Chains A and B, each alone.
Chain A
């Protein structure tokens, strides 16, 4: 089946620093990838839709200048959390749109970010 990887799986950083998270589709090309954030005991919240070769589409309330998304190739999207603060600590998950015969989303294993 389709495989999506994320790197790193967990990261601890100091407040004010920036963190880059990579999302890769390993065995298929993904023109669209999605970034989610999940706080403890809450559901996934879509942050943005990442489109290869064009600007990302951000959901309402998500600061595009704080969460920089780059989708430079059909297999890689990156999310950079700039000037991270403790309230940015969360579980960040990406998914890729696998266009076989269905609209199934394949999820990366997630990145747990802790900002101290």
Chain B
């Protein structure tokens, strides 16, 4: 079993739709959680950190559930420019270990 698992998708949704991704992690000692976005042939870019209290940034909402060991990302009112691969990232203690999920591909259609 992979330490960080994501549904690879692809998710193909119409513009304006709401879409949600989940990511599960197996190591209960995981400390920090992030969502990154990666466009084709580009490096990943930090989208948002994920906290137990949840956090929201515009149309994006991230949640962490430590008890069930998963994090989620919700995108509301999706735009064409949201099309990308979304990577779930988990770090351990001193961040000496960084684990990437395999990514979820999202495609927004007009």
Asked if A and B bind, the verdict is yes
Binding site for B on A (CB under 8 A): 32, 34, 36, 42-46, 49, 91, 93, 95, 97, 102-110, 112
A46 touches B32 (CB 8 A): no
What 5 A-B pairs have minimum CB-CB distances, sorted nearest first?
Answer: A103-B95, A107-B43, A43-B102, A103-B32, A110-B43
B59 at the interface (CB under 8 A from A): no
B100 at the interface (CB under 8 A from A): yes
Number of chain B residues whose Cβ lies closer than 8 Å to a Cβ of chain A: 21
A103 touches B31 (CB 8 A): yes
B residues within 8 A CB of A109?
Answer: 42-43
B residues within 8 A CB of A108?
Answer: 43
Contact mask for chain B residues 18-42; partner A; CB cutoff 8 A; 1 contact, 0 none: 0000000000000110100000011
B89 at the interface (CB under 8 A from A): yes
B45 touches A49 (CB 8 A): no
Instruction: Provide a sorted-by-A list of 30 A–B residue pairs whose CB atoms are within 8 angstroms.
Output: A32-B95, A32-B96, A34-B98, A36-B100, A42-B102, A43-B87, A43-B100, A43-B101, A43-B103, A44-B44, A44-B87, A44-B100, A46-B99, A49-B96, A93-B43, A93-B44, A95-B98, A102-B49, A103-B32, A104-B34, A104-B49, A105-B89, A105-B98, A107-B43, A107-B44, A107-B45, A108-B43, A109-B42, A109-B43, A110-B42
